[in-house]
Amino acid sequence: MQLNERIPNNVDLSGNKRLLRALEHWQPAYLDWWRDMGPQGFQDQHQVYLRTAVSVDAAGWAHFDYVKLPDYRWGIFLAEPTPDRRIGFGDFKGQAVWQEVPGEFRNPLRRLIVLQGDTEPASVEQQRMLGAHCPSLYDLRNLFQVNVEEGRHLWAMVYLLHSYFGRDGREEAEALLERRSGNSDSPRMLEAFNEPIDTWLDFFAFTMFTDRDGKSQLLSLSESSLDPLSRTTRFMLTEEAHHMFVGETGISRILERTCQLMKEAGFSEDVRKLGGIEIALVQKFVNFWFSQSLDLHGGEVSSNAANYFANGLKGRAEEDKHDDDHVLNGNVYLLDLLDESGRVDRQEVPMRNALNEVLRDWYVGDCQAGVDRWNKRVLEAHGISDRIYLPSRKFNRGIGVYAGRHFDPWGQPLSSEEWERRKHEWLPVPADKDYLRSIQAVPVFKPGQFANYIAPPQRGINRQPLDFEYVRTEA
């Protein structure tokens, strides 16, 4: 079988011998990485009911079948080109988009692609041990769907590196398989992607909040003047939506079950004695992964962000929904900075320099909509007065003006001593993790059954019933 048949694609791989050779060289290293660092314990004897993209049209991108994980057909897909597409923002606004990388923007574009690419295998590495503790076959299948698609997103970025960045691109593509999440010698590039994801509550909070950072980054890259980058990221967004669905519904189902258990316990909040996850513990994981994901958007004031925008490399999310000239010369943003004593000091910043914060605003709004749905559809519907909330964007930050200072989840400043004394109220501690590990210790592999701490979903995948065998052991 030819490689170009094994790699589904709409980029005419068979007509581009140089690219084909480069990917032919990279593919075995990718498969080695997948076996080593992909889902542990499910590589050889399991068939998973997965969606595989075989083309970008509606019929082709959601093809479902059983597949062994290492045999998944990781493909290369770009969204269809927009005829006569023009640069939509920045100093080159109105000019034709680029089909090749302009020499002067080669380094920053490579940097943006490598940063995005690094997150994809990182999350697979972070999640590799979860399968053995799954709450159901439905959830196990969703975990693997997310994992194979993150693998495909890595392929997408590697395609760009190999196609447009020559030797440097090839070296970067190799390095993407060499760094390891959480490894102190060779860590992944961004902090949230070095944190362990060893409980299913971590996994759901990660796919809710950190995959959503992926969505904001992909939306801003899909505005790029580099048309192949725009088209690649536009197709990735269609897959990303499922990852956030997994996160949002995962937490929603945990809350649903928690409400049921609270009622059983006579409206007691102590659902641990019934094996549930109390709302306050869910809130801690929201606090942790939301604040980590805020950091991924970068510093509040950034000359890099300004240059990316000016040069048309990276726009705002949903650029055409912004009601301004899309050039942003002379516009200002009111930003809460801190003075020397740590007091909030609102200052006018040139808009282009505040674009990380503008993207963070979009992100926070998108997260808030999901949190509102949990509150309305689950907590309120059950008549329970507790609510999940997003912590202040000052809380638990490691990057930007609030890094190195302490705030409570409502944005009130704290001394270091107060923070040390009280942080366990707001962030997961080892005992919380131990508890979650104890309730997920025994995996649920029986079709149609769900762990005690999580409610079943409302419907199955691809209209299959809930007791469908989403993952089966090979006879």
Binding region for Fe ion (CB under 5 A): 120, 150, 153, 211, 214, 240, 243
Q: How far is the CB of 232 from Fe ion (least distance, A)?
A: 11
Tell me the closest approach of the beta carbon of residue 150 to Fe ion, in angstroms.
5
Closest CB 139 distance from Fe ion, rounded Å:
16
Which C-beta is closer to Fe ion: that of 211 or that of 357? 211
The C-alpha angle 316, 320, 325, rounded to 5 degrees, equals 85
Q: How far is CA 363 from the centre of its chain?
A: 12
Q: Which residues of 36-50 are buried (b: 16+ CB within 10 A; e: fewer)?
A: ebbbeebeeebbbbb
Question: Least distance in Å: CB of 149 to Fe ion?
Answer: 6
Tell me the two tokens of residue 433.
């993790």
Q: How far is CA 411 from the centre of its chain?
A: 25
Closer of 246 and 471 to Fe ion (Cβ): 246
**Which one, 130 or 379, has the nearer CB to Fe ion?**
130
For residues 240 and 357, which CB has a smaller minimum distance to Fe ion in the complex?
Answer: 240
Judged by beta carbon, residue 62 or residue 335, the one nearer Fe ion is: 62
Distance CA 200, CA 134 (A): 7
**Residue among 244, 151, 153 at smallest CA distance from 204:** 244
- Looking at the Cβ atoms of 120 and 408, the one nearer to Fe ion is 120
- The CA angle 258-264-265, to the nearest 5 degrees, is 85
Distance CA(241)–CA(370), nearest Å, equals: 13
To Fe ion, the closest distance from the beta carbon of 176 in angstroms equals 13
Radius of gyration of the chain (CA): 23
Nearer to Fe ion, 243 or 360 (CB): 243
Task: Report in angstroms how near the CB of residue 444 gets to Fe ion at its nearest.
Answer: 24
End-to-end CA distance of the chain: 26
Number of other residues whose CB lies within 10 A of the CB of residue 429:
11
**Ramachandran bin of 224, using left for φ above 0, alpha for ψ from -120 to 50, beta for the remaining angles:** beta
Rounded to the nearest whole angstrom, what is the least distance from the CB of residue 456 to Fe ion in the complex? 24
